[in-house]
Amino acid sequence: MFLHFKLRFKLFLIFSLILLIFISITGELILFSVKGNFASQTKNAMQAEVYLLAEIFSRPLSTNPIPEEIDPLVDSLGLETDSRITIIDKKGIVLGDSYESGKDLLNMENHINRPEIKEAIREGIGTSIRYSDTIKMDMAYLAMTIKDKNEIIGFARIAKSLRDLDFQIKSLRRIIFYSLVSVFVVVLVLSIVFSRTITSPLSQMMKVAKKISQGDLTQRIKIKTGDELQELGDIFNEMAEKLGIKLREINKEKSQVQAVLSSMVEGVIAIEENGNIILANPALEKMLRLEGVKSLGHPYIEIIRHHEIANLINDTFKNKEGRNNIVKLWQPDEKVMRLQSAFFESEAGYPSGVVVVFHDITEMKKLERVRQDFVANVSHELKTPLTLIIGYIEALIDGAKDDSESLTGFLNIIDSHAKRMNKLISDLLELAKIESVDYRVTKSRNSLRSLIESCLASYKEELNRKKLSFELKIEEESEWVFVDKSKIELAINNLIDNAIKYTPENGKISIEARSLKDCIEVRVTDTGIGIPSDEIEKIFERFYRIDKARSRELGGTGLGLSIVKHIVEAHGGKVRVESELNRGSKFIFTLPKK
């Protein structure tokens, strides 16, 4: 329990205990010394008196003494000395006693066996402290032999009551006690003052240290004691100053690292040896849809449940070297990630860990697949007419040129396929131009009716050949649009061309335009073969054709609808299709009013 007390109380308690022990021992030593001195002085005084008694009674005892002669003198001397005086003959018979007279004197016991008498016989002087049966109290006795020609003729004994000695000792003890208590109180007060000089600076240090631990590094210790405590305070202040500088540097570095991590498009995650996440940048949270999820301090396996990622991290920890891998994530969306890990060692006392960088290569893979498909499609689309052209040219070289009918037919076929190749190349160039970064549309106010009628003029012969009816409906509010004229004409041409190609004879094509809240909606409707529902989402992809053989036969390149989509979107509009197999299709796109 003592360990839980405050330092000030501990110092006070220790000082008090030491002082109490010191004062107790000092008091006992003083009392012992004074008591010894007092006893020595008393003994010397009694010894002087007993010498005098021996001189006084040596002559009376040398004759034939009788109590009646000795006792009166003893009583007189006893009154003067305030002591008990006893004169005893050599046989131990009491001849005189200042406390007894008459019959009482004669009835007193023989004193030859008293301790002080026995010692006096041996040593010349004898002493003892004992209870007196005669006067019923403790007495200090001193006896001395009385000699005549070196022969013991009796004993002179003096006794003093210990009651007076005890009283004096008690008085002395009281004086010493009060003196020591006064000293104790004074020293105790001084100890309190002294303990404050130690604990007050320490209390200040504790308060400052607590505030610093709470993050207030501006706090400083102000101690002006001129001793080790002031030196300790100065060292503490210097430590706090250096700590503040160090923390500012760390915070600066942390902010820089955080800024770098936040600006990275790659996802970054750092994991301790125990598998807990210690860092995850915003890019990773966005990639994996972890916004709002508390990932820090949690096992990564709870956040990213993927065995290939777990294997990569475990291998990195095991081999203490980086690993690379490409994995697919299926949740929340399908993504292709290139993972690159690195092992890092920490300073002593801190765990090591692994950093994993997530490169989202989903779009790159898509682009790569699109590029591969594009190359394959272009190669195929060019190879087919080229093969035919080469074949017919070889036939002409082999002699078909000599047949005028065959020559004309072959040249017509070569011309048809050459035009098809030219159309394909033109569409590819147009599509490349539209998809380029520098592609821009220059808008101006144009009549939508005039644009559509201008496009229809090129298809009148084809419409008549297939006996297709055509209907144009344009609301008054949708007459004028802000578009790039040449590019919108290209889009409308592609839609009309598509409708004519896939609408059987005696079919119907219509174009309607109506005004909506923020845009003009244009609908190109036909009664053609329609589009299967599972093909609708792919219809605007490059080189995508539902019936490749029929489309190639009709001269289609598979790029027209993709061009339409890019042109409409470049104007800020949207395009979609509604279709029912064998019932026809409806291509709908929007254009801005302004």
Tens digit of each residue's pLDDT (9 = 90 or more) over 482-494: 888 888 888 898 8
pTM of the full structure: 0.43
Given 339, 365, 391, the domain boundary residue is: 365
Q: Are residues 151 and 298 in the same domain?
A: no
Task: Select from 498, 491, 481 the least CA-distant residue to 567.
Answer: 491
Q: Are residues 340 and 258 in the same domain?
A: no
Token couple for 250: 């760390």
Q: What is the pLDDT of residue 551?
A: 45
Task: Select from 538, 541, 570 the least CA-distant residue to 557.
Answer: 541
Low-confidence residues in the chain, pLDDT < 50: 1-3, 548-555
**Which distant-in-sequence residues (6+ apart) come within 8 Å of 256 by Cβ?**
none
Domain residues for the domain of 286 are 265-365
Given 168, 201, 225, the domain boundary residue is: 168
Distances (CA, A) of 192 to 4, 18, 196: 19, 14, 6
Q: What is the CATH number of the domain that holds 105?
A: 3.30.450.20
Evaluate whether residue 145 is within a structural domain: yes
Specify the DSSP class assigned to residue 354.
E
Distance CA 312, CA 309 (A): 5
Q: Are residues 456 and 575 in the same domain?
A: yes
Q: What is the pLDDT of residue 41?
A: 78
Distance CA 452, CA 88 (A): 168
pLDDT tens by residue, 62-115:
777 777 878 888 888 888 877 888 888 888 888 888 888 878 888 888 888 888
Q: What is the pLDDT of residue 262?
A: 73
Evaluate whether residue 203 is within a structural domain: no
Evaluate whether residue 128 is within a structural domain: yes
Q: What is the pLDDT of residue 2?
A: 46
Evaluate whether residue 561 is within a structural domain: yes
Count: domains in the chain: 4
Q: Are residues 28 and 76 in the same domain?
A: yes
Evaluate whether residue 430 is within a structural domain: no
Q: Are residues 323 and 244 in the same domain?
A: no
Q: Are residues 154 and 51 in the same domain?
A: yes
Evaluate whether residue 326 is within a structural domain: yes
Q: What is the CATH number of the domain that holds 556?
A: 3.30.565.10
Q: What φ, ψ does residue 328 adopt, rounded to 5°?
A: -110, 130
Distance CA 41, CA 485 (A): 142
Distance CA 544, CA 166 (A): 131
Q: Are residues 348 and 451 in the same domain?
A: no
Distance CA 575, CA 573 (A): 7
Asked if 451 contacts 485 with a C-beta cutoff of 8 angstroms, the reply is yes
pLDDT tens by residue, 392-427:
787 777 777 677 777 787 787 777 777 767 766 776
Q: Are residues 296 and 351 in the same domain?
A: yes
Evaluate whether residue 414 is within a structural domain: no
Q: Are residues 15 and 164 in the same domain?
A: yes
Q: Are residues 108 and 52 in the same domain?
A: yes
Q: What H or E segment, with its residue span, contains residue 184?
A: helix 162-213
Evaluate whether residue 236 is within a structural domain: yes
**Residue type present at position 484:** D
Distances (CA, A) of 439 to 283, 423, 432, 442: 30, 21, 9, 10
Given 365, 388, 409, the domain boundary residue is: 365
Q: Are residues 259 and 269 in the same domain?
A: no
Q: Are residues 313 and 444 in the same domain?
A: no
